[in-house]
């Protein structure tokens, strides 16, 4: 990456989050969109700004593959899939083009335990290219991992960490409401949950990220999902990740998203010395936050050690202009 001037970004994947990130990039002087890639043939040849709802054209034509991007670039922002196996070839291509990577792929946020072979390959490819790769988002990437981890910086001892996100799904975009199962019958919910269609991805990755920094050698993790119901109508999802170390539950992550939930809040509870509770009334707004944190990570890759990084082994993220 160049050390001066705006960071030149190729965006790969123009779904809802990708579009939000392109808008975010357009609003910031420190970053510049120089390329846009999407496999959807209906997007190829169109201006990225038009697709993303910008007031003015971005001056960047969408192409189908990274090889077709002609502009010099510093970094690729990859928002194509939650699946690590799906994004791996894209990340490999970015490294071979010498591009640093920011991605919102949830499974990439801490793959060292869940997909160690892919993690090692990505790390090696990034080191060889002398670039950093990082996955981020509001969750995984912030509320349930970076924020609790940093909060323990003032602790002499940590016994357990619990994070709760109680969200009113009605305040989020429609695809999110569908993703959490709002409006389904209980039977439909259970069918979709079994098929993995309404699972929130990332609780396990967040738990491994926390454990790595706490020095906890986890012997077991679980990730369980059930509907949040009003009679037979599903209003949303209640999903809980739990992790055990030395026979004790040391991490519990509660992801609850429900239409019309009163008093939504994010909450980090650390048991230890000293113990404390950190409360965010109303909660962090997920849609805005994921797009913002992806862009906020970009300058961190200028000074990051090459390789596959995580939100807890890179400089602390912050907003920048």
Q: Is 5 in the site for its own copies (CB under 8 A)?
A: no
Question: Quick one: which of 26, 155, 229, 240 contacts its own copies (CB under 8 A)?
Answer: 155
Q: Is 280 in the site for its own copies (CB under 8 A)?
A: yes
Question: Quick one: which of 142, 166, 189, 255 contacts its own copies (CB under 8 A)?
Answer: 142
Stretch that binds its own copies, among 57-65, 113-121, 144-152, 241-249 (CB under 8 A): 144-152
Q: Is 130 in the site for its own copies (CB under 8 A)?
A: no
Residue positions counted in the chain: 321
Task: Provide, rounded to whole angstroms, the least separation between the CB of residue 104 and its own copies.
Answer: 13
195: Cβ–Cβ under 8 A, 6 or more apart, which residues? none
Q: Is 313 in the site for its own copies (CB under 8 A)?
A: yes
Say if CB 109 and CB 53 are below 8 A apart: no
Round to whole Å and give the CA distance between 32 and 24. 10
Q: Which residues of 288-304 are buried (b: 16+ CB within 10 A; e: fewer)?
A: ebbbbbbbbbbbbbbeb
Say if CB 143 and CB 311 are below 8 A apart: no
Q: Which residues in 220-259 contact its own copies (CB under 8 A)?
A: none
User: What is the Cα 320 distance to its own chain's centre?
Assistant: 18
HSE-CB at 122 with a 13 A cutoff on CA atoms is 31
Q: Which residues of 222-249 are buried (b: 16+ CB within 10 A; e: fewer)?
A: ebebebbbeeeebbbbbbbbbbebeeee
Stretch that binds its own copies, among 42-50, 73-81, 246-254, 304-312 (CB under 8 A): 304-312
User: Considering beta carbons, is residue 133 or 292 the nearer one to its own copies?
Assistant: 292
Q: Is 53 in the site for its own copies (CB under 8 A)?
A: no
Task: Provide, rounded to whole angstroms, the least separation between the CB of residue 101 and its own copies.
Answer: 18
Q: Is 315 in the site for its own copies (CB under 8 A)?
A: yes
Say if CB 83 and CB 107 are below 8 A apart: yes
Question: Quick one: which of 5, 41, 262, 274 contacts its own copies (CB under 8 A)?
Answer: 274
Stretch that binds its own copies, among 2-10, 57-65, 120-128, 291-299 (CB under 8 A): 291-299
Q: Is 320 in the site for its own copies (CB under 8 A)?
A: yes
Of 236, 220, 239, 216, nearest to 228 (Cα)? 236
User: Considering beta carbons, is residue 98 or 282 the nearer one to its own copies?
Assistant: 282
How many other CB atoms sit within 10 Å of the CB of residue 120? 13
Q: Which residues bind its own copies (CB under 8 A)?
A: 24, 27, 30, 138, 142, 146-147, 149-158, 213-215, 272-274, 276-282, 284-285, 288-289, 291-293, 295-296, 303, 305, 311-321
């Amino acid at each position: 990456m160049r050390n001066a001037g705006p960071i030149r970004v190729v965006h790969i994947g123009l779904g809802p989050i990708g579009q939000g990130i392109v808008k975010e990039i357009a609003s910031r002087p420190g970053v510049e969109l120089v390329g846009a890639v999407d496999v959807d043939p209906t997007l190829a040849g169109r201006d990225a700004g038009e697709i993303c709802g910008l007031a003015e054209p971005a001056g960047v034509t969408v192409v189908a593959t990274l090889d077709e991007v002609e502009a010099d670039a510093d970094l690729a922002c990859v928002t194509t899939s939650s699946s690590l196996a799906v994004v791996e070839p894209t990340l490999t291509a970015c490294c071979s083009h010498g591009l640093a990577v920011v991605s919102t792929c949830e499974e990439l946020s801490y793959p060292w335990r869940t997909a160690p072979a892919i993690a090692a390959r990505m790390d090696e490819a990034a080191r060889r290219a002398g670039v950093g790769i990082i996955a981020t988002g509001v969750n995984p990437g912030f509320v349930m991992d970076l924020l609790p981890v940093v909060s323990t910086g003032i602790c002499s001892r940590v016994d357990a960490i619990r994070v709760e996100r109680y969200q009113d799904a009605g305040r989020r975009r429609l695809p999110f409401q569908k993703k959490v199962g709002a409006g389904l019958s209980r039977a439909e919910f259970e069918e979709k949950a079994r098929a993995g269609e309404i699972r929130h991805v990332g609780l396990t990755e967040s738990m491994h990220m926390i454990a790595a920094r706490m020095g906890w050698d986890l012997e077991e993790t679980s990730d369980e999902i059930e509907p949040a119901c009003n009679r037979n109508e599903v209003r949303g999802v209640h999903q809980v990740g739990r992790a055990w170390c030395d026979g004790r539950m040391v991490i519990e992550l509660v992801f609850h998203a429900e239409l019309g939930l009163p008093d939504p809040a994010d909450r980090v509870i650390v048991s230890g010395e000293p113990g404390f509770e950190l409360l965010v009334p109303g909660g962090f707004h997920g849609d805005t936050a994921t797009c913002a944190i992806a862009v906020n990570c970009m300058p961190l890759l200028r000074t990051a050690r090459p390789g596959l990084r995580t939100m807890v082994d890179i400089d602390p993220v912050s907003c920048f202009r």
